[in-house]
Amino acid sequence: MYAIKVEFKLNNKERTKMAQHAGFSRFIYNYGLSLMRQLDHKKDKGGSSKKIDEIQKTFTNFTKKQPEFAWTKKLSSRVYQTGFRSLKDAYSRWHKGLGKAPQFKRKKDRRSFSIVNSNGKVVLAAGKRIKVPTVGTFRLKESLPCRYVTQTFTISETAGRWFVSFSVDAERLPPLMHEVAEPTGVDLGVKCFATCSDGSKYVAPQPYKKAKTKLGKQQWRNRNKVLGNRRLGVKASNNAKKHYAKLAKTHAHVANIRKDFLHKTTTEMSRKYAVIHIEDLNVAGMIANHKLASAISDLGFYEFRRQLGYKQKHYGNRVMLVERWYPSSKTCHNCGNVQPMPLSERTYVCCKCSYVVDRDLNAALNLESVPSGKLKPLEP
Are the C-beta atoms of residues 1 and 167 closer than 8 Å to each other?
yes
CB nearer to Zn ion: pick between 81 and 334? 334
Nearer to Zn ion, 126 or 353 (CB): 353
**Which DSSP helix (H) or strand (E) runs through 131?**
strand 127-132
Taking the least distance from each CB to Zn ion, the nearer of 3 and 353 is 353
Nearer to Zn ion, 35 or 332 (CB): 332
Work out how close the CB of 360 gets to Zn ion at its nearest, in angstroms, rounded to a whole number. Answer: 17
Helix (H) or strand (E) holding 164: strand 161-168
Helix (H, G, I), strand (E, B) or coil at 140: strand
CB of 191 to Zn ion, least distance (A): 22
Complex with Zn ion: residue 204 or 350, whichever CB lies closer: 350
Q: Please identify, using beta-carbon distances, which residue of 277 and 333 lies nearer to Zn ion.
A: 333
Residues forming contacts to Zn ion in the complex (CB under 5 A) are 332, 334-335, 337, 350, 352-353, 355
Q: How far is the CB of 343 from Zn ion (least distance, A)?
A: 20
- Closest separation in Å from C-beta 339 to Zn ion: 9
Q: What is the smallest separation between the CB atom of 364 and Zn ion, expressed in angstroms?
A: 16
Q: What is the closest distance, in whole angstroms, from the C-beta atom of residue 355 to Zn ion in the complex?
A: 4
- SS3 state at 53: helix
Distance CA 160, CA 252 (A): 10
Q: Between 275 and 357, whose beta carbon lies closer to Zn ion?
A: 357
Q: Which long-range contacts (CB under 8 A, 24 or more apart) does 271-274 make?
A: 271/176, 271/178, 271/179, 271/315, 272/178, 272/179, 272/180, 273/178, 273/179, 273/180, 273/184, 273/196, 273/317, 274/178, 274/180, 274/181, 274/182, 274/317, 274/318
Whichever of 98 and 351 has its CB closer to Zn ion, that residue is: 351
Strand locations in 220-327 (E): 273-279, 318-322
Closest separation between CB of residue 350 and Zn ion, Å?
3
If the CB atoms of residues 302 and 355 are measured against Zn ion, the closer one turns out to be 355
Q: How far is the CB of 148 from Zn ion (least distance, A)?
A: 50
For residue 227, the minimal CB distance to Zn ion (Å) is 59
Size (the chain), residues: 380
Residue 107 is classified by DSSP as T
CB 357 within 8 A of CB 348: yes
CA dihedral 337, 340, 343, 349 (to 10 degrees): -50
Measured over the CA atoms of residue 172, residue 177, residue 181 and residue 186, the dihedral's sign is negative
| β-sheet bridge partners, residue 136 | 132
Decide: 375 and 279 in contact? Cβ < 8 Å. no
Report whether 103 contacts 87 (CB < 8 A): no
Task: Return the number of the residue (285 or 336) whose C-beta is nearest Zn ion.
Answer: 336
**Nearest CA among 216, 231, 188 for reference residue 321:** 188
290-299 vs 301-315: helix crossing angle, rounded to 10: 30
| Amino acid identity for residue 39 in this structure | L
CB of residue 347 to Zn ion, shortest distance in Å: 13
